[in-house]
């Protein structure tokens, strides 16, 4: 068995070859509860209608929470890239599991009808052969649809990458923002340095004016004392003049 | 779906009818190994189909894994760039706040310097008054000394003393009035003048403390 199917040990028989992958606990990547696209969305050569496929891919991505991280909302989730990596890996595992599920049934049933076709006569009246033949067509269609869904998923990721590295989006926009912020930071640093120097000069002027005030205060004290002495001298002389 | 094999017996019959001698000879020669021939053909067909199916899926799932890994790597890169951008913005915001703070502190220091300068000039003004008082007292003291030596009369002493006192008081009043009426409240050396009628208003160069420019 192929590498992608090496973990599947299920034994396929006539009782389970027609089973559907989707169960209450297991979700299919195919639309319509795992039965696949409706026939009006599939062309005669098995190609799914582009719009229907795109709609389903969008729904699948949304349902499996594998929407690529939106950088503008990166702060909402702590680590959006890690979450995306885990969810997308889970989606790939689920798709692989489903493909393997139908792949094993397809190989079983194809072997059956080829052997029957090679050995039996009057095949048109062989009911079991006809049932298995129509089921083979159905399973083959599911396998092809899964492959197309996978291709659509790859295309969606490529579109995301293009947006990430677009001219005015994603990385380039962030880098532009970063450069602009860096320029602002440099300008603010330059202004702050200048303001800081001015502040130092003004602080020195304040210290100088405080010293001038102190000097003036000392002079006032001296003159106050001298005035008291002069007034006392006048009083003394006046008393002397009076006594004479 | 196209049937890969038709009934071999029918084919033999048809071949006989068409007289395809070479094929007829080959098919008849199969004999008992006919079943083996069928099984081999079925096995080859199965091998071709399963190889095609698995190879196609393996190729696509590898591409999908690669695309997802690219998206994850890019998302990490974008997230880190965004983090770096946010850190730079935070630094810028902090620097801007610090700059504002330094500017405010600078203005406070500037204002404090103005206040100190005004206070110092006021002290010098007071000192000027005290000097006038000292000089006046000294003159009166000299007059008193002359009076005690009877070099001047009592009436002359009184006249000179009152004159000195009057001059001193007038000087004090003039200075007091100038400081309280004409002098600017913020800048000691700036005087406020009454606004003239019809004069064009010129935007002040110096900032004011909000007091009216004319009191009268």
Count the alpha carbons within 13 Å of B130 in the hemisphere toward its beta carbon: 20
- Which residue would you say has higher pLDDT here, B20 or A172? A172
pLDDT in tens, B82-129: 888 889 999 989 988 888 888 888 889 889 999 999 999 999 999 999
Q: Is the pLDDT of residue A224 over 60?
A: yes
Query: Which of A94, A129, A164 is the last residue in one of the domains?
Result: A164
Q: Is the pLDDT of residue A213 over 90?
A: yes
Tell me: do A54 and A149 sit in the same domain.
Answer: yes
Q: Is residue A129 part of a domain?
A: yes
pLDDT recorded at residue B215: 42
* Angle at the Cα of B122 from the Cα atoms of B118 and B123, rounded to 5 degrees: 120
Chain A residues with CB under 8 Å of B10 CB are: 121
Using a 10 angstrom Cβ sphere, with 0-12 exposed, 13-18 middle and 19 or more buried, the burial of residue B33 is: exposed
- Identify the band that residue A206 occupies on the pLDDT scale cut at 50, 70 and 90: very high
* Domain ranges, residue A231: 179-244
pTM beyond 0.80, yes or no: no
Of B4, B106, B141, the CB nearest to A199: B106
Q: Is residue A173 part of a domain?
A: no
Question: What number is the average pLDDT over the span B128-132?
Answer: 94
Query: Which of A113, A136, A164 is the last residue in one of the domains?
Result: A164
- Which residue would you say has higher pLDDT here, B205 or B170? B170
Question: What number is the average pLDDT over the span A186-205?
Answer: 87
pLDDT in tens, B165-196: 999 999 999 999 998 888 888 899 888 887 77
pLDDT in tens, B44-78: 888 898 899 999 999 999 999 999 999 999 888 88
pLDDT recorded at residue B2: 45
pLDDT in tens, A26-73: 889 999 888 889 888 888 888 999 999 999 999 989 888 888 877 665
Kindly report the three-state secondary structure assignment for every residue of B20-59.
Answer: CHHHHHHHHHHHHHHHHHHHHHHHHHHHHHHHHHHHHHHH
Tell me: do A153 and A204 sit in the same domain.
Answer: no
- Which residue would you say has higher pLDDT here, A63 or A101? A101
Question: What number is the average pLDDT over the span A100-111?
Answer: 92
Q: How many domains does chain A have?
A: 2
Q: Is residue A174 part of a domain?
A: no
Chain B residues with CB under 8 Å of A233 CB are: 137, 141
Tell me: do A42 and A113 sit in the same domain.
Answer: yes
Query: Which residues 193-232 on chain A approach chain B with CB closer than 8 angstroms?
Result: 195-196, 198-199, 202-203, 205-206, 209-210, 212-213, 216-217, 219-220, 223-224, 226-227, 230-231
How large a percentage of chain A has pLDDT more than 70? Answer: 95
The interface pTM score, or ipTM, of the predicted complex is 0.78
Tell me: do A212 and A136 sit in the same domain.
Answer: no
Using a 10 angstrom Cβ sphere, with 0-12 exposed, 13-18 middle and 19 or more buried, the burial of residue B191 is: exposed
Residue B181 is classified by DSSP as I
Q: Is residue A170 part of a domain?
A: no
Give one DSSP letter per residue of A110-155, joined into a string. HHHHHHHHHH-S-GGG-HHHHHHHHHHHHHHHHHHHHHHHHHHHHH
Compute the nearest-CA separation of A121 from chain B (Å): 6
Tell me: do A28 and A136 sit in the same domain.
Answer: yes
Query: Which residues 44-73 on chain A approach chain B with CB closer than 8 angstroms?
Result: 68-69, 71
Q: Is the pLDDT of residue A95 over 90?
A: yes
Tell me: do A28 and A111 sit in the same domain.
Answer: yes
Question: What number is the average pLDDT over the span A189-196?
Answer: 86
Of A68, A171, A195, the CB nearest to B102: A195
Tell me: do A197 and A106 sit in the same domain.
Answer: no
């Amino acid at each position: 068995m192929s590498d992608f199917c090496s973990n599947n040990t299920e034994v396929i028989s006539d009782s389970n070859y027609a089973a559907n992958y989707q169960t209450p606990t297991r979700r299919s990547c195919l639309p319509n509860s795992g039965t696949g696209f409706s026939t009006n969305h599939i062309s005669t050569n098995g190609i799914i209608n582009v719009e229907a496929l795109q709609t389903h891919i969008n729904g699948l991505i949304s349902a499996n929470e594998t929407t690529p991280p939106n950088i503008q909302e990166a702060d909402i989730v702590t680590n959006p890239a890690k979450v995306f990596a885990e969810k997308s890996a889970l989606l790939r595992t689920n798709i692989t599991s489903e493909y393997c599920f139908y792949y094993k049934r397809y190989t079983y049933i194809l072997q059956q009808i080829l052997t029957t076709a090679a050995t039996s006569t009057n095949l048109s009246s062989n009911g079991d052969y006809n049932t298995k033949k129509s089921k083979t067509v159905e399973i083959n269609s599911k396998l092809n649809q899964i492959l197309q869904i996978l291709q659509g998923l790859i295309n969606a990721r490529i579109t995301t990458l293009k947006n990430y590295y677009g001219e005015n989006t994603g990385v380039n926009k962030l880098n532009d923002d970063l450069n602009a912020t860096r320029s602002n930071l440099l300008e603010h640093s330059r202004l702050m340095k200048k303001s800081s120097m001015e502040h130092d000069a003004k602080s020195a002027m304040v210290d100088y004016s405080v010293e001038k005030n102190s000097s003036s205060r000392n002079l006032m004290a001296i003159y106050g004392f001298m005035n008291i002495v002069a007034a006392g001298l006048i009083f003394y002389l006046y008393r002397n003049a009076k006594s004479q | 779906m196209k049937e890969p094999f038709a009934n071999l017996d029918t084919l033999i019959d048809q071949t006989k009818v068409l007289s395809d001698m070479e094929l007829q000879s080959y098919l008849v020669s199969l004999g008992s190994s006919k079943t083996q021939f069928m099984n081999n053909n079925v096995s080859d067909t199965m091998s071709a189909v399963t190889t095609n199916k698995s190879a196609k899926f393996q190729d696509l799932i590898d591409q999908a894994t690669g695309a997802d890994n690219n998206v994850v790597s890019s998302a990490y890169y974008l997230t880190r760039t965004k983090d770096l951008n946010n850190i730079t913005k935070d630094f810028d915001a902090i620097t801007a706040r610090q700059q504002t703070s330094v500017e405010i502190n600078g203005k406070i220091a500037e204002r404090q310097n103005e206040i100190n300068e005004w206070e110092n000039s006021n002290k010098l003004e007071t000192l000027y008054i005290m000097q006038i008082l000292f000089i006046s007292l000294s003159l009166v003291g000299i007059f008193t000394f002359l009076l005690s030596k009877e070099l001047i009369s009592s009436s002359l002493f009184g006249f000179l003393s009152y004159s000195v006192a009057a001059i001193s008081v007038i000087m004090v009043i003039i200075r007091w009035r100038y400081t309280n009426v004409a002098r600017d409240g913020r800048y000691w050396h700036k005087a406020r003048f009454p606004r003239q009628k019809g004069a064009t208003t010129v935007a002040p160069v110096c900032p004011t403390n909000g007091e009216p420019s004319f009191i009268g």
